[in-house]
Amino acid sequence: MAEKVEIKKIQDKLLKWEQSENSLAPLTSFQRHAILEVAEEINSSRSRGSNSHPEIRWTVTRQEEIPPDKKTGEIPRNITALNKGDLKIETTHQFLTWYTQVEEELLDEEDELYLQYYEQLRAWRLECATLLEHVEAALGDLSCLSGQYLSVSERTSSLHRVSEQLLAEQTQLHSLSEEVSQRLRYFTLLENLTQRLGSPTLSVASDQFYDLLDQLDSCIQYMSVHSKWREADSYLAKYRHCLSKALGLVRVYVLSVFLNATQQVLAPRQGVPGQLPADQVFALCYGKFQASATRLKGLLTRIEERCDRSQEHELLLADCLQCYFEQRELLLAASVRSSVAELAKTHHGDHCSLVRSGCAFLVHVCQDEHQLFFQFFSRPASQLTVFLEGLCTSLYDTLRPIIIHINHLETLAEVCSILRLEMLEEHVQNNSVPLEAFGRIAWQLLQDVQERLVFRTHCYLQSDILNYKPAPGDLAYPEKLEMMESIAQQLQEQAALQAIRRSESHSSLQSVGSTTSQEVAHFTADTTPEQPRSRTGNSPADLHGMWYPTVRRTLVCLSRLYRCVDRPIFQGLSQEALSMCIQSVAFAATAITSRKGAVDGLLFQVKHLLILREQIAPFQVDFTVKEMSLDFSKVKTAAFGLLQRRNRLLSLGPDNALLEFLLAGTPAVREQLLDSRKEVDRTLKQACETFIKHSTNILAQPLLSFLDKAQVYTKMVSEVQGGALLSNQPFASASLVCQTVQETQRLIKAQLPVLQRSMQLYLANRETEFVLFRPIKNSVVGAFAQLQQLLSTGGYSSEDLLLAACPAPEQVALLLSSAALAASSAPPATPRSTFDIASSTGSVTLVTNEPSLDPSTPHDSSAGVIVTSALPVAPVTMAAARDNSELKSGR
């Protein structure tokens, strides 16, 4: 029954294998298809083997167990016995018996396979039962083992947990022990450190001492952080005492090294009589200290690294620095002062060389001291700058009294250039850190030099420009220009002759025709005296020596100041200098006008103002200066109102006269911009306008006078109705008009060449001459046009017009152009006398071919230079010499 139930369960489970839902062994479509193919193959194989005995498929194992007589396919025994004759069948009964036996044998033989298979299945069943019993026994054993394993596992896990807990406690206790030992180490180190500090073999410069300092620092820091611990304060005090003792050893060691180095330097100097050479002194000063630097560098570096940790290290470093600089000052201060004094004696009178050599000396000292300092210390210190400033102050104290007594502007300007360009810009900017102290002293010295330069410049501008008293030679215009032009022409002719002679000597073997062609080519290539100038630079007026002294001095002074003083200072000085120069030129022009005439005076002023405007153009500065002034115009009005309202002085109302005076009478602050460039342009414009007006008067004075009278009469006639015509007036008759026209034409023909010659001599620039001559020409042409209009409207008859013979404006323009061309093509006049041009600084005697005359003005023979027509001496050299002498004299 149990077996049936078990089989039923197996069948149910087999049925669940192929359920559509919740299948125990679900198959995919591919797997199902594979199973069907296998089933078809089995069925086909069965059909192929149907002709054989159907029970053959059951013949499996154990064929050897079948008895030999039970083998299938053998002949039955009864048939065999019958065939052998052992059995005889004689009766029907025997046959039936035999047949029955044979049939039974055949049936038994047919059932033998099934029986064998049955026996085999039964054996297998027994084996399976035995195996099942073994499996159940094994399961029982496994169940027992599982229980035992769980028991052992529980006890092992408990043991493991206990072991881990013990290990954790052990680790915690070990770390606690280490922490306690680590904390106690800061307390137990005291005795060891104290013994090491007291050891006589301890060396301050050794690594053991550095390690001792590290331990002291760590202990002090630890005690400071844990100050609430028991006895922490007492241990902290003990450690600080040990640190003070260690730092005391360092202090004694460092100071002794510095003192020994100083004594080693001073000993040779004291033992040798007299003074050692400067190079040996400085070699001693630096050599001994450099030898000691290797012993102190590491120690001082560690002290500097600890300065941020404690104040004791800062005090120790300060003491070391103080001792170092005291010893260096003891060695160098006297030597530097004596060296500077020796330089002052060596370069006595040569201030530029003194400044340059003194500054160069201190630059080397500062660089050497900076290098030596960082051989001992690794961090910069402010005491180094103070020490170097003290050394450089000796140069300042030596140079400042000399500078404040220098009167030469050129010397002051050169000193400024040395300090600004060579020292501050070249040396200090390229080595800003080593030369910081020197830069401060050099800057102070530069400020003093600039202050002195500005003061002397003010004095120079007042005395030699604004209050300049020109000598007769300074105002000898146009004689100076004519004379220099004549000398230049003679020199040019001599140079041409010398060139011709050289060419003749080189071509002496050539034919006559070739020599002539060379001479012609030479003359056509060179500029002849009659060739007109096209630009400035060929004119004597453009030479520096021909400039008016105040103009030359102003420009030289500005060129000196431009690179010496700051821009704001230069702007103020340039505005003042140009203003004074303009006044001086105007004064000289007035003197020349009174001496030679307005044309020369005005052209002199125009030319020098053009020179000023051209020469100040390269200065890259703004010549505008802002001036502040107080406007007291309101004060006068307020005071007048106060006097009128005296009765309200003590009034308590809003109309108190005193209060209104205080409010309304406050001076106003006004700003005024002064532009020296515009002032030069404005003065130049005024001078040109005056020259144009004066030149027009020279060329057309009779005509202009007649036009003025005619305009006055015409205005009077227009105011009074029924007045007489202009032609009926005696001063405006046709004959007088003709006379006026002819006289004006004669003046044009006579004066225009002279005027053109003067313009060429002074200006020497075609464009400038054309700019000035064009308005003159337009004014003259306009005057004739105005006369023609008056004649046409003044009631003149045709006979009167013919008699007056007033030319048309085109004819006048043609007349002016022809006269101008004739003037420009005429050769310049050559002076035939000797001129003595005396100036304020001396005299220059220019000798021509004519017999010389005694100079009318005495001159200084030491400053005089004689230039003959055969000596090619340019006046630029003389002018430069005069300018330099004037600047050096500080006038």
The pTM of this model reads: 0.63
Residues with Cβ < 8 Å from 282, sequence gap 6 or more?
335, 368
Cα–Cα distance for residue pair 589/593, rounded to 1 Å: 6
Three-state SS at 835: strand
Q: What is the DSSP string of 191-234?
A: HHHHHHHT-TT--TTSHHHHHHHHHHHHHHHHHHHTTTSTTHHH
- Please, what sign has the CA dihedral across residues 154, 156, 161, 165? positive
Q: Look at residues 617, 582, 548, 606 and name the one whose alpha carbon lies nearest to residue 771.
A: 606
Return the domain boundaries, the chain. Answer: 1-51, 185-247, 321-466, 679-825, 832-875
At CB < 8 A and 24+ separation, what contacts does 705-714 make? 706/731, 706/732, 706/736, 706/737, 706/740, 706/787, 707/783, 707/786, 707/787, 707/790, 710/790, 710/794, 714/790
Write phi, then psi, for 213 (nearest 5 degrees): -65, -40
Contact assessment for residue 732 and residue 713, using Cβ atoms and an 8 Å cutoff: yes
Q: Name the stretches of the chain with pLDDT < 50.
A: 49-72, 271-274, 507-537, 826-882, 884-891
pLDDT of amino acid 168: 92
From residue 96, give the alpha-carbon distance in Å to each of 79, 90, 108: 13, 11, 18
Q: At what angle do helices 278-305 and 232-271 cross, to 10 degrees?
A: 170
Helices (H) and strands (E) in the chain, counts: 25, 5
866: tokens are 């004689």
pLDDT of amino acid 677: 82
pLDDT of amino acid 874: 31
Cα–Cα distance for residue pair 392/383, rounded to 1 Å: 14
Q: Are strands 865-867 and 842-846 parallel, antiparallel or unpaired?
A: parallel
pLDDT of amino acid 610: 93
726: tokens are 């202009």
From residue 550, give the alpha-carbon distance in Å to each of 544, 547, 883: 12, 8, 10
Determine the residue type at 822. Answer: A
Element (H, E) at 99: helix 92-197
One CATH from 1.20.1280, 1.10.1200, 3.40.50, 1.10.3470 for 679-825: 1.20.1280
pLDDT of amino acid 270: 55
pLDDT of amino acid 303: 87
Name the one residue in this structure whose structure tokens are 């005995």. Answer: 53
